[in-house]
């Protein structure tokens, strides 16, 4: 029996069942299929909890780990079954191992440990939700395939809110689209899109965020310029939202405090706390620029965006929503 059909058979019973996020669950020792989840940060923890809630209604058992003791404790407090090391996940005979790690370095550190500690005759599906370099995805895809495993890169869009609400979009790269079809019951979100072969999920995520950074920077500059020229920020946002500058960064995540106060939502709503941090944007832009350099693609705005978010991070704004650029441009503290 191939891995693909093993997963399909074991997980089929949970198809279409998505337990409400936040619902409590019990770990079932009778479960025959284990799913490992490594990386319990702001994104990984709610994702793993949602997965465990789904698992509760199926014969799936989720076992979670994070190298950070605080994160691991949070998972325990949430009622998750946890492992004490990456090796323990590797030795747990998981049919699927999901990783949600900070970047390429962490993926390169964790994956070999998983390979060494797992049964060499078993076949595992590796689902990497981390945002990594497309070449990292392709490299691990090839190496894991050679060892009889399957892999897909599946970075997400939707942020912490999407992770918590179970409304993420998964951008999937895998050589065989059937892999995604079979992994569907694991999807902790609303949608999954097959973007292409191995690495295409990672590439799509970076491209979206490259375009997003330029959009946010453009909106920050426009809102700042308009206000300085005497245009009411609320009117300016309203005009742009019904004109050609209409965008998520203007409409949903507008960076201007006056717009946030008016609408009760936007990047500045909670003094730029939460949301998508500037240092995460810097990281994604660094990956995009590096991928562009490898592919011989000119990214003039991408490079400038990366350097601006780099500077914002150096100025202590790394944990603030990336809309904080409006304040950074002004030389003001958020």
> Which residues in this chain contact a copy of itself in the complex, by CB under 8 A?
134, 157, 169, 171, 191, 193-197, 199-200, 203-204, 206-215, 217-219, 221-226, 228-232, 235-236, 238-240, 242-250, 253, 288, 291-292, 295-302, 304-305, 308, 329-330
Rounded to a whole number of angstroms, the minimum distance from the CB of residue 149 to a copy of itself is 21
At 195, which helix (H) or strand (E)?
strand 189-196
Nearer to a copy of itself, 118 or 249 (CB): 249
Catalytic-residue membership of 279: no
Q: Give CA–CA dist 48/139, Å, rounded.
A: 26
Residue matched to tokens 């019904």: 242
Dihedral sign computed on CA atoms, order 217, 218, 223, 226: positive
Rounded to a whole number of angstroms, the minimum distance from the CB of residue 161 to a copy of itself is 12
| Marked catalytic residue, from 54, 161, 205, 246 | 205
Residue matched to tokens 């691991």: 72
Rounded to a whole number of angstroms, the minimum distance from the CB of residue 171 to a copy of itself is 6
Q: Dihedrals φ, ψ of 254, to 5°?
A: -50, 130
Buried (b) or exposed (e) across 253-270, using 16+ Cβ within 10 A?
A: bbbbbbbbeeeeebbbbe
Nearer to a copy of itself, 225 or 314 (CB): 225
Q: Give CA–CA dist 265/246, Å, rounded.
A: 16
At 60, which helix (H) or strand (E)?
strand 60-65
And the tokens for 256? 């201007």
Nearer to a copy of itself, 39 or 302 (CB): 302
Nearer to a copy of itself, 20 or 229 (CB): 229
The SS3 of residue 191 is strand
Nearer to a copy of itself, 80 or 289 (CB): 289
Rounded to a whole number of angstroms, the minimum distance from the CB of residue 139 to a copy of itself is 14
Q: Give CA–CA dist 245/2, Å, rounded.
A: 50
Q: Give CA–CA dist 34/16, Å, rounded.
A: 19
Rounded to a whole number of angstroms, the minimum distance from the CB of residue 185 to a copy of itself is 22
Rounded to a whole number of angstroms, the minimum distance from the CB of residue 141 to a copy of itself is 12
Give the contacts of 230 (CB within 8 A, at least 6 positions apart).
none
The angle that helices 134-146 and 104-117 make with each other, rounded to 10 degrees, is: 10
Q: Give CA–CA dist 108/129, Å, rounded.
A: 14
Q: Give CA–CA dist 224/327, Å, rounded.
A: 9
Rounded to a whole number of angstroms, the minimum distance from the CB of residue 187 to a copy of itself is 15
Nearer to a copy of itself, 209 or 313 (CB): 209
Nearer to a copy of itself, 36 or 199 (CB): 199
Question: Catalytic residue numbers?
Answer: 205
């Amino acid at each position: 029996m191939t891995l693909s059909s093993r997963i399909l058979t074991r997980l089929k019973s949970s198809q279409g069942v998505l337990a409400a996020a936040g619902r409590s669950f019990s770990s079932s020792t009778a479960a025959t299929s284990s799913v490992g989840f490594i990386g319990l940060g702001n994104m990984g923890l709610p994702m793993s909890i949602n997965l465990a809630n789904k698992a509760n209604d199926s014969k799936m058992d989720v076992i979670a780990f994070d190298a950070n003791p605080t994160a691991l404790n949070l998972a325990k407090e949430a009622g998750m079954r946890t492992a004490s090391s990456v090796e323990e996940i590797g030795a747990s005979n998981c049919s699927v191992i999901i990783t949600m790690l900070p970047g390429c370095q962490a993926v390169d550190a964790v994956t070999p440990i998983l390979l060494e500690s797992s049964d060499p005759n078993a076949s595992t599906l590796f689902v990497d939700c981390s945002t990594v370099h497309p070449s990292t995805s392709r490299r691990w895809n090839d190496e894991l395939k050679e060892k009889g495993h399957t892999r897909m890169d599946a970075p997400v869009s939707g942020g912490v809110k999407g992770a918590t609400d179970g409304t993420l979009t998964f951008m999937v790269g895998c050589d065989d689209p059937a892999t995604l079809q079979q992994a569907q019951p694991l999807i902790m979100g609303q949608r999954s899109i097959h973007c292409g072969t191995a690495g295409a999920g990672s590439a799509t995520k970076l491209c979206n965020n490259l375009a997003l950074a330029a959009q946010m920077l453009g909106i920050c500059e426009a809102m700042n310029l308009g206000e300085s020229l005497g245009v009411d920020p609320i009117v300016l946002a309203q005009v742009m939202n019904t004109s050609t500058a209409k965008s998520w960064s203007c409409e949903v995540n507008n960076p201007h405090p006056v717009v946030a106060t008016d609408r009760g939502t936007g990047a500045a709503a909670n003094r730029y706390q939460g949301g998508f941090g500037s240092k995460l944007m810097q990281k994604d832009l660094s990956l995009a620029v590096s991928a562009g350099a490898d592919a011989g693609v000119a990214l003039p705005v991408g490079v400038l965006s990366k350097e601006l978010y780099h500077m914002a991070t150096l100025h202590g704004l790394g944990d603030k929503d990336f809309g904080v650029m409006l304040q950074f441009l002004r030389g003001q503290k958020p």
